[in-house]
Amino acid sequence: MSEDWTVERLGDVIVPCGTIDPTKEPDRLFRYIDVSSVSNETFEIVEAQTIQGREAPSRARRLVRSGDVIFATIRPTLKRIAVVPPELDGEVCSTGYFVFRPHRHLDGKFLYYYLFTDGFLGAMEALQTGASYPAVNDAQVKDQKIVFPSLPEQKRIVAILDEAFAGIAAATANAEKNLANARELFNGGLEDAFSETKAGRKLVTLTELTTDITDGDHMPPPKSPTGVPFITISNIHKGTNTIDFSDTFKVPRVYFDNLKPNKKPQLGDVLYTVTGSFGIPVIVQDSTEFCFQRHIGLVRPKRGVDSKWLYYALLSPPAFKQAADGATGTAQKTVSLKVLRSLQLPDIPLAEQVAMTSRLDALYARTKSLESVYTEKLASILDLKQTLLQKAFTGELTGAKNRHSEAA
């Protein structure tokens, strides 16, 4: 940091924003910025409610002006940070925001960028308290230190960051689009493989491809410090389609031994979530003993049906659509065993199943490779943003503007 830079408390470089009580003007229409109004992806106010003064919530008390910078003190690490646009000048925001109105020696956009630095956000994370709604208070925000140069130098730095971050935003959007396309590549492959329009393909019910379709025990199981793992629907991970045994509780061995054979998963069985996040299949890939709750179905393929093929069939968009169409309930959708057993899947020879599985395995591997590439790209973009911010607030951002946008 250059010697001519100034170090100040945030509380000493801002002016009071003022408050307002909309209920005292019951017929006036206000634009209200609540905590959910700011996007932590675009860092803009994406939706401000229009409310009458008499309907204003008790948290609608902070007056904002165009150019103010707002920062959500509730869950501060979510980075709900935005600059108030001209159309919201004179409106009101939630007391869940700290409103920064910089004095004449501090550029508002320079302050805005400072709030994204690891130093500031790290301090907020360390200071936040509360389990359900972790938050920091206004005094803690004001106590943070900011370093800044002369106003002309602040504006030069902001111009560099504006251009660089515009390039970064474009690079991020491109990487996210490519990541979505990579994921869609596999879904498209599944859709095509199990399309009902395949010539000469006969459809049969899932029951005809299995020896058993059941669900877990409907009674709460006894817990034990040792014994056999018991998985719930939360232990089945969507996306990876795997079982996480790291946080399962255990049931006594005698409880497991007394279960019917069709309630004990075997190598090659396919588990299928039937409640809430329904439609997630998982293939049992080893002989680990475990049992499961009633929100999970067990599908046991018959001889001549490849387990991995059946897993892909249940994962396919056509199968999911059938399950979704048959699901009942409002708060939590449930796929009944009747619906599960009636799912229509193609009846094809084992050799064709194995060949299809091989193609889908290859496509899945390719998809995961592409996902890894674009995920790493997004991580490197995030690192670049922090590098730029670090340089900006230590006086090292001296290069040409286009150098940073090209790096993005």
pLDDT along the chain (408 residues), means of 10: 82 92 94 93 91 94 95 94 95 95 92 94 95 92 94 93 91 90 90 79 94 91 93 90 91 94 94 94 93 95 96 95 94 93 95 95 93 91 89 75 41
In a domain, 1, yes or no: no
Residues 383 and 283 reside in one and the same domain? no
Residues 134 and 182 reside in one and the same domain? no
Number of domains in the chain: 3
In a domain, 60, yes or no: yes
Residues 131 and 26 reside in one and the same domain? yes
Q: Is the pTM of this model over 0.75?
A: no
Residues 290 and 389 reside in one and the same domain? no
Domain stop point among 84, 115, 148: 148
Using CA atoms, how far residue 387 sits from 157, 250, 390, 391, in Å, is 14, 46, 5, 6
Using CA atoms, how far residue 268 sits from 190, 300, 310, 401, in Å, is 20, 7, 10, 57
Residues 91 and 155 reside in one and the same domain? no
Residue 44 sits in a domain of what CATH number? 3.90.220.20
Residues 294 and 364 reside in one and the same domain? no
| Structure confidence at residue 1 (pLDDT) | 56
Residues 353 and 232 reside in one and the same domain? no
By the 10 Å C-beta count (0-12 exposed, 13-18 middle, 19+ buried), 110 is classed as buried
| Structure confidence at residue 201 (pLDDT) | 81
Residues 89 and 41 reside in one and the same domain? yes
By the 10 Å C-beta count (0-12 exposed, 13-18 middle, 19+ buried), 126 is classed as exposed
In a domain, 169, yes or no: yes
CA 313 remoteness from chain centre: 27
Q: What is d(CA 100, CA 109) in angstroms, rounded to the nearest whole number?
A: 11
Domain stop point among 347, 363, 379: 347
User: Residue 313 belongs to what domain range?
Assistant: 202-347
In a domain, 46, yes or no: yes
